[in-house]
Amino acid sequence: MATTFHGREKYILTFIDDLLRKTFLYIVKTKFGVFNNLKVFKALVENQIYKCIKVIKCDENWEYNFKNFNAFYKENGIVKQTIAPYMPEQNGVGERNN
């Protein structure tokens, strides 16, 4: 049985600033909402913090491998670093945060 948040939302998406260890949390209904929240997060970072996203580190889950993700990374000069799934040693900050 899946747990839901605020009605229908089922997933939590976190973005962590590696330098400041600041966490940004989004609650999404489906895994397909990740891309829209990435665009919202990028706008927030550029407009509020006045920084550019240079690298995104994520595991090789399918929700990060859509063509629109790769095109978005290329358009914005973002480097995608992948880590092996289920390997907390490679993503210590994210795993401790979760």
N-to-C CA span, the chain: 20
User: pLDDT (tens digit, 9 = 90+) per residue, 3-47?
Assistant: 555 567 778 888 888 777 888 888 888 877 888 889 999 999 889
Residue 16's φ and ψ, nearest 5 degrees, are -120, 125
User: Do residues 9 and 27 make contact, with C-beta atoms less than 8 angstroms apart?
Assistant: yes
Model pTM score: 0.75
Q: What is the pLDDT of residue 1?
A: 43
2 in a domain, yes or no? Answer: no
3 in a domain, yes or no? Answer: no
1 in a domain, yes or no? Answer: no
User: Do residues 34 and 61 make contact, with C-beta atoms less than 8 angstroms apart?
Assistant: no
**Does the structure show a pLDDT above 50 at 66?**
yes
Q: What is the pLDDT of residue 3?
A: 58
Cα(49)–Cα(80) distance, rounded to whole angstroms? 21
The mean pLDDT of the chain is 79
Q: What is the pLDDT of residue 62?
A: 60
Domain count for the chain: 1
4 in a domain, yes or no? Answer: no
Which domain does 67 fall in, by range?
Answer: 11-97
CATH code assigned at 50: 3.30.420.10
